[in-house]
Chain A
């Protein structure tokens, strides 16, 4: 049986259950899963990870140097544990994408980024060219380092708690320090785990008018997303960007408003179950992937939709 070390997604001491449980689903296909929870505080996250079905054991490492998951110290910790595992994996979050390639290089192996499918212990599928092609790769490396694209795996369920073991951090390489986080608090569901996402694009026209998108989202209990153009123009914060270089989402319902449908945007949402597009240009490429398209001015259609739902 293969053994898998899974870097759990821990932010400020709290486990991101959805992302971690989705990666557990992928990892459990490979072998026994040990979840590593690390941070300045990680014990509570460890307790939560122990209850994800498929996790055989949890390792908790708490140390100030692991706070904010700085890449150098987190990678050093993972590498110190690597001997015991055939696979080192994580959900493909920005934190894991920061850390895993560093781990892989320290182990002299390639990283398999954003895997969307597990064929066997050596073989994985991953999207390339903004999802316009799917590549199957077979690794020749003795150890595999893999991040799993969360939008393609269902979250693992619950179980009675697996054993939790506390381990110590390794010496802090002292290369970087955390300064500050700018995180907007929100009561809305998280973009990558929401069942419904409403996204606005450049067509929305201003930060003030983005309230139209937010109102529709709130009516639907949805998360809010944005195109790159909307983020670049300052209508929406960076962490709302959906796409090749933003977040990848696959909700039950995705509503694209005033978004043209560039391939880089489609890369982040075209696996959604139902896609609705509202755009005043009937030629907009977004209509080619939409299940339901409405050719209309968003400034009249969106308030009407919000009211009638």
Chain B
């Protein structure tokens, strides 16, 4: 079985984002970019499946600007076997929407015939939480979102999902799409020798046009603004003072 892992290049989760004063978006020029944290978990899970003898090959895919090559090299350094970069934008500020990403991924799935696609649950930039579900719909496959446990067995997978009420386990037919949540595993760091080796692993470069997919956004972003700021608070000196303040404010 091949495992396909879509990985997105996003602003690093430690960076404080800055909204541009003219409302045209968030400033991404000269900002540290990394692999979407959920996608690191997906790559890790794919590699573990390979190490357990359940997968033969792990293919990482990224769609976006050509700098996403770095994100793919990270996936290769972690242990993915090869990578596909689909260049679909020139400007680092252009975000390809989940529907277009899913359409490109669906074409790659047709070509590569993986038994499993492991997506992140959500990209921490657009916070959409949509791509895996959309890909599953386009392929007519089963889906298991927000996975905190995954067992692949023959023609099905058992997946434990983090849902609002607690945990739910479902059994899905393979091939399937699984989107991964934070507690599925702890991703490894790439070692220096593996980072060197990754430079020699195959990385195919394609364009959205190669797959015949129109990436024109369906959602026009009219303005991006700062959220409302909170008024400054006070530091209280004791529990008694805290209780008094809360009573005064009618909070308790």
Contact = CB atoms under 8 A, between A and B. Distances in A.
Contact of A137 (B138, B166, B219): B219
Contact of A176 (B133, B173, B182, B222): B173
B218 A177 contact: no
A113 B127 contact: yes
A248 B174 CA distance: 33
A292 B124 contact: no
A287 B165 CA distance: 30
Contacts of A304: 239
- Secondary structure class of chain B's binding surface, majority of residues: mixed
Contact of A175 (B165, B167, B173): B173
Determine the interface band of chain B, counting residues with CB < 8 A from chain A: 35 or more
Contacts of B146: 94, 98
Contacts of B137: 75, 101-106
A179 B148 CA distance: 15
A138 B124 contact: no
Contacts of A175: 141-142, 172-173
Interface of B: 11, 13, 16-17, 19, 26, 97-99, 102, 121-122, 124-138, 140-146, 148, 158, 161-173, 181-183, 217-227, 230-231, 233-236, 238-240, 242-243, 245-246, 249, 251-252
Interface string A292-304: 1111100001001
Contacts of A239: 162-166
Contacts of A130: 124, 127
A122 to B, nearest CB: 9
Interface stretch (A48-56, A66-74, A80-88, A203-211): A66-74
Most buried by B among A273, A282, A287, A291: A291
A181 B131 CA distance: 25
13 contacts: A106-B137, A110-B97, A110-B98, A110-B99, A111-B130, A111-B134, A129-B127, A138-B220, A175-B172, A181-B165, A220-B252, A273-B251, A292-B236
Given A95-B163, A138-B219, A176-B142, A104 B130 contact: yes
A189 interface: no
A135 B221 contact: yes
B240 to A, nearest CB: 7
A72 B17 contact: no
B134 A102 contact: yes
Contacts, number: 253
Given A244-B127, A301-B239, A97 B145 contact: yes
A308 B102 contact: no
B130 A113 contact: yes
Contacts of B170: 68, 70, 176-179
A263 interface: yes
Contacts of A10: none
B155 to A, nearest CB: 12
A127 B172 contact: no
B220 A137 contact: yes
B198 to A, nearest CB: 28
A231 interface: yes
Given A101-B98, A140-B220, A290-B233, A132 B16 contact: yes
Contacts of A75: 137
A1 interface: no
B16 A263 contact: yes
A141 B171 CA distance: 34
A167 interface: no
Given A276-B246, A289-B230, A294-B235, A101 B182 contact: no
A295 to B, nearest CB: 6
A71 B133 contact: yes
Nearest to A232: B183
Nearest to B237: A294
A215 B168 CA distance: 28
A31 interface: no
A164 interface: no
A45 interface: no
